[in-house]
Amino acid sequence: MAPIHVEQYEDLWEEDDPPCNCGDCPECETRELSEFADPGGKSALRAGPRNFPCPTCDRPNRLSAKDVELGYQCDTCADQDEGGP
């Protein structure tokens, strides 16, 4: 079954209906990008206050609550692990 796109059925949906979750339309792409601290950049870290330490290097204020939930490390440590600068 093909995903349903919001724009196909806009006239049928009420404002209180849930947003589209197809993963392919511009609305979904915008919502996904807005979750990141640096949308379109190389970092996978999520947006939000950085008030948690990195579990790898223990530097303070490197991760958001979502980063911790996802098991991430800071960009510096990730870059070193991936052979980056």
Summarize pLDDT for 23-65 with one digit per residue, the tens.
666 665 555 557 878 877 888 899 889 999 999 999 999 999 9
Count of domains in the chain? 1
Verdict on whether the full-model pTM lies above 0.75: no
Q: 49 lies in a domain? A: yes
pLDDT at 6: 47
* CA neighbor of 46 nearest in space, from 61, 58, 29, 34: 34
Place of tokens 């790898």: 56
Rounded to the nearest 5 degrees, what angle is found at the Cα of 25, between the Cα atoms of 19 and 31?
55
Instruction: Return the structure tokens found at 22.
Output: 């197809």
First to last CA, the chain: 44
Q: 72 lies in a domain? A: yes
Residues 37, 29: Cα–Cα separation, whole Å: 15
Domain of 69 in residue numbering reads as: 40-85
Q: 58 lies in a domain? A: yes
Q: 14 lies in a domain? A: no
